[in-house]
Amino acid sequence: MTEAMNPTSLVVWGGFVLAFVFGAVANKTNFCTMGAISDVVNMEHWGRMRMWLLVIAVAMAGTNLLYYFGLIDLSKSIYVRTSLPWLSLLVGGLLFGVGMTIAAGCANKNLVRLGGGSLRSLVVLVFLAISAYMTLKGLFGQWRASYLDPVTVDLTQWGLAGQTLPQMLAKLSGLADKSALLSSMGVVVLGLLAFVLKDKRFRGNTVQMVGAVVLGLLVVGGWYLTGHVGYGENPETMEMVFFGTNTRTLESLSFVAPTAYSLELLMLWTDKSMRVTFGIATAVGVVLGSFAYAISTRQFRWEGFASLEDLRTQLVGAVLMGFGGVTAVGCTVGQGLTGVSTLALGSFIALASIIAGAAGTMKYQDWRS
């Protein structure tokens, strides 16, 4: 097999292509989780929220159908474990929600803005990456590992092999695993679709509708790429492994830890043990996809900080997002799309915490003003 066609190269370049499209579509559709929450909290407008929920529905359906037909094994993902670190998910999600609100955008939104010319987002992403790396391997990581991660629920005590809704349904009802998978997925997906599509104005918004379907399929594509294309026998050890991912298992789109690994690669570029991974490629891909769209539509504009106060606020938000995103095992994309697509209970806890943190901060900002 040639170097260009080895599994790692396929995973990395495939991830870049998926993220390139993600960045372009997110820019065109103004896809933004924080914006969606803000629209609901401040204006009671559900347009962008419906788009976000449609992305979740598409990602969830596609991901679980891949699992159902045996094309990927979600039980090996970082989201589906027998240990449920509920305190880390709760605290991390809340802090990420607070951070993305005061920084005026999550990790993904800042990557998209960077592609559109925002130097402010570049500074935010650098501090987010430093904070995330400190939470993975540094001082913040010591706090996380000592005080938050040990507070867990061992689901094996209840005879569960994982924390997904299908596994819980199978245990409670006695349904076969595949029947429980289709049942739980069907209920959640159809419920989301019913809520999303009942709004006539949203149904008439072709850009948001098509954009949501594309973004959801890109999450599915990430799972297939790392969990099927990138899964094979290591020629050196003869073991079955996942190629090209930081977690050494299957992944899909997520943007907090990958920014940390991207910064690490830049700082240790001459270290021959360092490699471009799926996560790093997706972070770069989002920026360049957004850049391509901004240039092609003549929307590229240089942007800086409005004031010193703006700078201080953004940096605090960036640090909170870095710590919160790693502690909660993902961001609004990593948990809010990729994580919940696995139907993992922990991902729903993290997502609810992110929303609560963001909404609470918005209410506080409104009260203070």
C-beta separation of 309 from 44 below 8 A: no
Rg (CA), the chain: 20
Provide the 10 A C-beta neighbour count for residue 173: 11
C-beta separation of 197 from 204 below 8 A: no
Question: What whole-number distance in Å separates Cα of residue 255 and Cα of residue 300?
Answer: 22
Of 80, 12, 62, nearest to 281 (Cα)? 12
**Mean pLDDT for the chain overall:** 95
Question: What whole-number distance in Å separates Cα of residue 240 and Cα of residue 340?
Answer: 26
In the block, residue with structure tokens 């037909």: 69
Question: What whole-number distance in Å separates Cα of residue 197 and Cα of residue 54?
Answer: 9
Residues of the chain falling short of pLDDT 50? 1
pLDDT digits (tens, 9 = 90+) for 145-165: 999 999 999 999 988 888 999
- Residues near 341 by Cβ (< 8 Å), separated by ≥ 6? 56, 59, 60, 62, 63, 64, 219, 220, 223, 252
C-beta separation of 279 from 254 below 8 A: yes
Question: What whole-number distance in Å separates Cα of residue 41 and Cα of residue 37?
Answer: 6
DSSP 172-199: HH---HHHHHHHHHHHHHHHHHHHHHT-
C-beta separation of 340 from 125 below 8 A: no
Q: Using DSSP, state whether 344 is helix, strand or coil.
A: strand
Question: What whole-number distance in Å separates Cα of residue 264 and Cα of residue 279?
Answer: 12
- CB burial string 202-211: b at 16+ within 10 A, e below: beebeebbeb
C-beta separation of 256 from 128 below 8 A: yes
* Sign of the CA dihedral running 168, 91, 138, 275: positive
Report the predicted TM-score, pTM, of the whole model to 2 decimal places: 0.96
C-beta separation of 253 from 219 below 8 A: yes
Question: What whole-number distance in Å separates Cα of residue 172 and Cα of residue 52?
Answer: 31
Provide the 10 A C-beta neighbour count for residue 349: 23
Q: What is the pLDDT of residue 3?
A: 53
Could you tell me the two tokens for 365? 């900002």
pLDDT digits (tens, 9 = 90+) for 293-309: 999 999 999 999 988 99
Task: Find the helix or strand (DSSP H, E) in which 232 lies.
Answer: strand 231-233
